[in-house]
Amino acid sequence: MVVSRPRPIATPLVKAFDQTLGTPLTKTPITTLQINLGRRCNLSCSHCHVEAGPHRTEELSDSVLEDLLRLINDFPQVETVDLTGGAPEMNYGFRPLVEAARAKGKTVIVRSNLTIFFEPGFADLPDYFARHQVQVVASLPCYLQDNVDKMRGQGVYQDSIRAIQLLNERGYGQDPALGLDLVYNPPIPATDQFRLTPDQQGLEQDYKHYLAEQFGIRFNHLFTITNLPIGRTRFQLEHRGLLLAYTQFLAAHHNPATVAGLMCRNQLSIDYLGQIYDCDFNQMAEIPAQLPDGTPVTVSTLIAAGSLDVIDQVQTRSYCYGCTAGSGSSCGGALL
Ligand code: SF4
Ligand code: SF4
């Protein structure tokens, strides 16, 4: 098993996030489990914050799956189970988790790259998703082909369009039980002319208009997600000498009104080893969630405590400004 090396994440010359808030960021009661099933993915996107790819081998084990099923079955406060990866569908435990959560009446979200539908062995996914009323959140970083293929690889745009059509044919984007949301990621800055992530509502209208006209595609919402300086994005910013300036730009646009809605407050992000983080970004940066005494939290900690609400304070770093800049950003898009 390959475990990525811890990397330095401190960015000097940027005011500490908690200092800007004036108080530590606190948790609220947990309602969402976001489970990262592993790093295996059929794509290797340039903006991928978990550095997933076809050659990554890390994924859930039997015993972690068993613990996760206990969390789903034993905690009615969990309203949403959000499955991510890698390509979650390729990773062990995907279908058992979907089926357990749906049996308990929870909302299940899959963060799908869509192109997985065309890999051998995965052709039944559109039917499977519809049958289990899985809510699909799908990356389509731009509605124009050139930009998508540059970020995600040649041919990804056409496959994504075809996959959305397959979902539409099964009622996605129209049937209220079959939600289909698309995700926009801005390009990684290439110069110091930084811009805030575009207005979500305006861009959603552009996507809807273009995709309906060109391909007859329907979807529910567009989520705009800011690039946080972490993972491959951080690496590219560092390579271009822009890491500090970009982080300072995000910090300069910190919007206090976004703080109440930050996703790290009511969610637990769980990795394939059963370790717990406040969000997927902290997971990538290998900054575990902590008990008040500083002990890292795992699924076993939660099971032993009989509680999901064992964490008081969110672990924050300078990249957190990516979640609070402008209209804010989360796995569900803009916060305002
Ligand atoms: S599809 Fe998603 S998980 Fe896979 S490489 Fe691209 S961004 Fe990463
Ligand atoms: S990166 Fe965003 S979601 Fe994660 S801890 Fe920081 S503010 Fe919260």
User: Nearest Cα to 285, choosing from 50, 38, 66?
Assistant: 50
Distance separating alpha carbons of residues 224 and 36, to the nearest angstrom: 20
Ligand found nearest the CA of 42: 1
Pocket of ligand 2 (CB under 6 A): 262-264, 278-279, 281-282, 314, 316, 319-320, 323
pLDDT confidence of residue 1: 40
User: What is the residue range of 320's domain?
Assistant: 17-324
Within 8 A by CB and 6+ apart from 269, the residues are 34, 36, 276, 277, 278, 279, 280, 282, 283
Please list the rounded mean pLDDT of every run of 10 residues in the chain (336 residues): 46 88 98 96 80 90 96 98 95 96 98 95 98 95 78 86 97 98 92 96 96 97 95 92 97 98 98 97 95 98 98 98 97 95
Q: How many whole angstroms from 82 Cα to the centroid of ligand 2?
A: 16
pLDDT confidence of residue 6: 47
Task: Return the structure tokens found at 190.
Answer: 């290439």
**Site to substitute for ligand 1 among 4, 40, 41, 116, most atoms within 8 A of C-beta:** 41
Distance separating alpha carbons of residues 299 and 305, to the nearest angstrom: 10
pLDDT confidence of residue 2: 37
User: Nearest Cα to 278, choosing from 59, 30, 42?
Assistant: 30
Asked, for residue 333, whether it belongs to a domain, the answer is: no
Asked, for residue 332, whether it belongs to a domain, the answer is: no
pLDDT confidence of residue 194: 97
Q: How many whole angstroms from 32 Cα to the centroid of ligand 2?
A: 15
Asked, for residue 330, whether it belongs to a domain, the answer is: no
Q: Which atom of ligand 1 is nearest to the CA of 42?
A: 4
Distance separating alpha carbons of residues 179 and 125, to the nearest angstrom: 15
Asked, for residue 160, whether it belongs to a domain, the answer is: yes
Provide the CATH number for the domain around residue 121.
3.20.20.70
Q: Which atom of ligand 2 is nearest to the CA of 319?
A: 1
Asked, for residue 40, whether it belongs to a domain, the answer is: yes
Domain count, the chain: 1
Q: Which atom of ligand 2 is nearest to the CA of 330?
A: 3
Q: Is the dihedral of CA 136, 137, 142, 145 positive or negative?
A: negative
Q: How many whole angstroms from 236 Cα to the centroid of ligand 1?
A: 16
Q: Which atom of ligand 2 is nearest to the CA of 324?
A: 7
Asked, for residue 152, whether it belongs to a domain, the answer is: yes
Pocket of ligand 1 (CB under 6 A): 41, 43-45, 48, 50, 52-53, 85-87, 113, 139
Asked, for residue 8, whether it belongs to a domain, the answer is: no
Predicted TM-score (pTM) of this structure: 0.93
Asked, for residue 329, whether it belongs to a domain, the answer is: no
Q: How many whole angstroms from 281 Cα to the centroid of ligand 2?
A: 7
pLDDT confidence of residue 5: 45
